[in-house]
Structure formats: C-alpha cells, structure tokens
Amino acid sequence: MAGLTKSEFANPVINWIDTRLPIFTMLQKEYGVFPTPKNFNYFWNFGALAMVCLAIMIITGIFLAMNYQPNTELAFNSIQHIMRDVNYGWLLRYVHQNGASMFFIVTYIHIFRGLYYGSYKTPRELLWMLGVVILLVMMATAFMGYVLPWGQMSYWGATVITNLFSAFPVVGPKIVTLLWGGFSVDNPTLNRFFALHYLLPFVLVGVVFLHIAALHITGSNNPLGIDVKSPQDTLPFHPYYTIKDSVGICVFLIVWAIFVFFVPHTLGDPNNFIPANPLQTPADIVPEWYFLPYYAILRSVPNKLLGVCMMFGSLIVLFVLPWLDTSRVRSARFRPIYRQLIWVWVLSFVVLGYCGMHKPEGIYVVLSRVATLYYFLHFLVILPILGKLERPLPLPESISQPVLRGRGGGPLPGSATAKPMEKA
C-alpha cells in the first residue's frame, strides 16, 4: 500500500522525513510506547546486553581490521603491532578479545532465561529458532576470530575444529580439504577465515533484526509466563525499560572493563603467545571456555562420527525444543518438578564445561559421560514426558493480580484491581 504517513512529530525536519519514511513513527511505536509486560526481572536485560556486545564487537573489530594482516607470515606480528604501536590498539584488542567472552556469557544467560521461563513455547517458537541460528552464527564467528592471531592455539584449534568434518564418511576428507583450501590449515584458510569473520557479524545483525521483529509480533514473555491480558499488565518501553536496561548495561560494562583493564588474559590461553607452528601441537589443546561443554560432549563419546554428531546434536536439539516440551505452562515458577530439573540441566552443562578443561582421563571421562547423558535425556525424554505427568501450580489470572493481591503489597488505595486503566 503506497501513501504518505501522517506523522505526529512537531519538529518540521523530523516530520518531513517521517512523512516519507516513517522510521521515527516506527521507533516511537516499537521502542517508545511499545507495551511491555510490567513484571520483568533483570533476566530480561540480557537481550539488550547481547545487542550492546554485538555493536561493540563490530565497532572495535572494524578498527582492528584496519591494522591486521591476514597472512600467515604477518598475522602474529600484526597483532603485536596492534598491541604495541597502534594508538590505543591494546585497548581495541582487549575489548574485542574479552568481548567474545562477554558476548557468550550474556548470550548463555539470555538462553537460560528462555529455558527457565519457557520463552520458546508457542507462539514464540520461531523467535526461539532464530535465536538458535544466532547462537550458531556467533559460534562460527568466534571460532574464526580466534584463529586470526595465528598463535599455537589459533592454529591447532582451527586444525581440530575443521577436522571434525572429516568424521563424515566418504565426503568427510573432501570437505576438510575444501574448508582448508589446501592440505593443511595454511594461508588460504587464514584468508577465508578473516573474510568470513568480517562478514558473519553483519549476518548476525540481520538475524538479530528478524529475532527482534518476531519478538515485537508476539510480544515479550515475562517471569509469570502468562499472556498480557490488558493494558494494565504493561508499561511503555520508554522510559521504564530503557532505564532498566541502562542500569544493566552500566553494570555489565563495568564487569567488561574490569576484565579489559585488570585481567585481560585471564580468559585466554598462554599458548596463543607462541606463533603458530604446524609441526608441533601444544601439550594441552583446550578451546575457549565458551566451547568447553561441547568439546566435552565430543570427547565423551569413544566413536569419532558419533561424537561429532552428538556435539552438533547438542545444539540442533534446541531447534525442536518448542515441540519436545509438551507442557503448556511456560514459567518454571509454576512447574515444581521442571523448576528443579532445569537446574540439573544447568549443572550438567557446567560439569561438561569443567570436564572440557581437563584431560579425558579417569573421573573426567565418567563425569562427562554422565553429564552428556543427562543433557540429552533432559531434552529428548524428560521434557516430553514431564509435560504429561507434572501437575503445575495454579497460574495467576493476570500479571497485575499477584502484584496487587499476593506479595505483601497490602490493600491498594482505591480500587485499582480490576479496573482497566487508561493507557496509550
């Protein structure tokens, strides 16, 4: 439908633009008055935090790329050049390097929020699946970014991860040669990884846009997991949640800054201070912490192909989670058994991460196998059955109701309870 927009903005310049391209009206609708459930807790900050991460990573990354050389002869030294010679290069690099960890911690908490409060359930299945796509693209981006400094861990990480594809029968080795552009990880590999590491964040921006577009169709979930019943259950996004997000962003940036300015190498591996040597594998090959749980799943399976499939499967299973969980109650708050089992799942994820740090010997083999077993049991067996067996607690009638009646609020002045308030 063609036609000019009738803009309500008083400023003549904004009005002129808005009439022709209603971005201001859109912003006002989606981020100004957008009706948002009024009972968010701080778990609902983490989507915004992830966006902040993405923006900071892209900006610092662009400036780093201006000084980086994607060539096996030059890459390692160009990083040292950035650290020593480029003005504020150390700052850009530490922000970017630690930013990867910050991005993952924020994203993992964001995903946990979704799992705990049932944000993946109807009608938000597609929103959730777009989120899983974001996670996968993020992982690919992080992996390729880690290769760029061309240290020992970069090189051997790249070798191990690309070799995962060799597990597939018949075509496996051909795929690996294709990924490498040669017969080992070498200059062509580094070149394409740099090209893709620069490209994928912008793909992420696109998928994040779809993620948010879908969110603004379904509306946000909330800690009670029940639908918004009336305008009384909501607040305009601005200023209520712009402020709440700002508080979270400030705290988050402080944490990030502590890593950047005081312990910039704590999350990294000392082996990456050694230039890549294709003839010598370091004694301990360990991925970055955010990949450890998947790495542990891979190593817990004695069969090569099966291990690779389980590792990828641990992520792919998230795509079908909305259909595996048969319970119609979203929030774990009203699911007495799920509320405990989700923590068992978190424990299995943490145990996997812990096992991933250690050599697969003795107790760590047993632990990682048990944790892997529970990881999959939780999704594939427990969730489908639990939905049928579990007796959920009674749900509140509306988001407002427990606030007004139950939780120590006492009687409210007037009779605000059931009267629909006037709100934009």
Partner 1 sequence: MADSSAAAAHHAAPGHGPSGDVTKRDLLQLIATAGAVIGAGAIAWPLIDSMNPSKDVLALSSVDVDLAPVIEGQGITIVWQGKPIFVRHRTAAEIKEAQDTPLGQLIQPQADSARVKAGHDQWIILVGICTHLGCVPLGNKPSDPRGDYGGWFCPCHGSQYDTSGRVRHGPAPANLALPPYAFESDTKIKVG
Q: Which positions lie near partner 1, rule CB under 8 A?
A: 8-11, 14, 24, 28, 32-33, 59-60, 63, 66-67, 81, 84-89, 91-92, 236, 238-239, 424
Is 245 considered catalytic here? yes
Q: Which is nearer to partner 1, 172 or 236 (CB)?
A: 236
Among candidate residues 96, 121, 244, 378, the one labeled active-site is 244
Is 227 considered catalytic here? no
Among candidate residues 18, 233, 269, 288, the one labeled active-site is 288
Q: Which is nearer to partner 1, 85 or 284 (CB)?
A: 85
Cβ neighbour number for residue 161 with a 10 Å cutoff: 19
Q: Which is nearer to partner 1, 231 or 239 (CB)?
A: 239
Cα gap 46→247, rounded to integer Å: 12
Is 216 considered catalytic here? yes
Q: State the nearest-atom distance from the C-beta of 32 to partner 1, in Å.
A: 5
Cβ partners under 8 Å of residue 341, min gap 6: 378, 382, 386
Q: State the nearest-atom distance from the C-beta of 111 to partner 1, in Å.
A: 28
Q: Which is nearer to partner 1, 11 or 281 (CB)?
A: 11
Q: Are 371 and 352 contacting, i.e. CB atoms less than 8 angstroms apart?
A: yes
Among candidate residues 38, 81, 216, 304, the one labeled active-site is 216
Q: State the nearest-atom distance from the C-beta of 66 to partner 1, in Å.
A: 7
Least Cα distance to 318 among 84, 75, 136, 56 occurs for 136
Is 288 considered catalytic here? yes
Q: Could you tell me the sign of the dihedral formed by the alpha carbons of 392, 394, 397, 403, in that order? A: negative
Q: State the nearest-atom distance from the C-beta of 64 to partner 1, in Å.
A: 9
Is 81 considered catalytic here? no
Q: Which is nearer to partner 1, 27 or 373 (CB)?
A: 27
Least Cα distance to 26 among 245, 229, 241, 237 occurs for 237
- Judging by beta carbons within 10 Å of its beta carbon (0-12, 13-18, 19+), is residue 415 exposed, middle or buried? exposed
SS3 414: coil
Q: Within its chain, how far is the Cα of 401 from the centroid?
A: 33
Among candidate residues 18, 233, 245, 325, the one labeled active-site is 245
Q: State the nearest-atom distance from the C-beta of 7 to partner 1, in Å.
A: 9
Tell me the catalytic residues.
216, 220, 244-245, 288
